[in-house]
């Protein structure tokens, strides 16, 4: 297929979860504020001169803008080695699903460490968000 714009991606979820789960968005629309406000150059105290930041790094920009983001149903907090969140899944038909906003799916992971990396990225993004909120 030569025309990449003709490709279609379909996201699916159980119908009973559709009203409560956030919908996937193109990654380019979900760039965090810290990345948007980052300068292209910053002074390096180690080198004593201005250096380019990751905002000028094509592989980093690709990683941040390609693909889709699937938001979690709740913000995660990482404190004292524990993850916590403030949202409960409504009772009723959803009892067959994990109440946790993150989970591991046995058999769905083909590459060792992918789940850990995904969790680490989610925790890192949440930590960055909390740091921004704390900074005011």
Look-up: residue for tokens 């080695």? Answer: 81
Parse the chain into domains and list their residue ranges.
74-136
Q: With residue 59 as reference, give the H or E element that holds it.
A: helix 58-65
Task: Indicate the pTM of the whole model.
Answer: 0.56
Q: Which residues is 78 bridged to in the sheet?
A: 83
pLDDT tens digits for 115-133?
444 555 555 666 666 666 6
What does the buried/exposed string (b/e) look like for 92-102 if buried means 16 or more CB atoms within 10 Å of the residue's CB? eeeeeeeeebb
pLDDT tens digits for 32-62?
888 899 999 999 999 999 999 989 999 888 9
Instruction: Judge contact between 23 and 30, C-beta under 8 A.
Output: no
**DSSP label at 34?**
H
Q: With residue 120 as reference, give the H or E element that holds it.
A: helix 114-135
Q: Which residue has the higher pLDDT, 97 or 114?
A: 97
Q: Which of the four pLDDT bands, split at 50, 70 and 90, describes residue 71? A: confident
């Amino acid at each position: 297929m030569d025309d990449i714009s003709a490709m279609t991606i379909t996201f699916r979820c159980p119908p009973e979860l559709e009203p409560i789960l956030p919908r996937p968005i193109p990654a380019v629309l979900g760039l965090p504020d810290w990345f948007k406000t980052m300068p292209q150059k910053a002074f390096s105290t180690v080198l004593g001169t201005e250096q380019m930041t990751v905002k000028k790094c094509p592989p980093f920009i690709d990683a941040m803008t390609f693909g889709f983001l699937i938001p979690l149903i709740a913000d995660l907090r990482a404190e004292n080695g524990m993850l916590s969140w403030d949202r409960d899944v409504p009772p009723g038909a959803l009892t067959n699903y994990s109440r946790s906003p993150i989970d591991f799916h046995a058999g769905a992971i083909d590459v060792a460490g992918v789940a850990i990396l995904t969790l680490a990225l989610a925790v890192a993004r949440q930590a960055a968000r909390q740091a921004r909120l704390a900074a005011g």
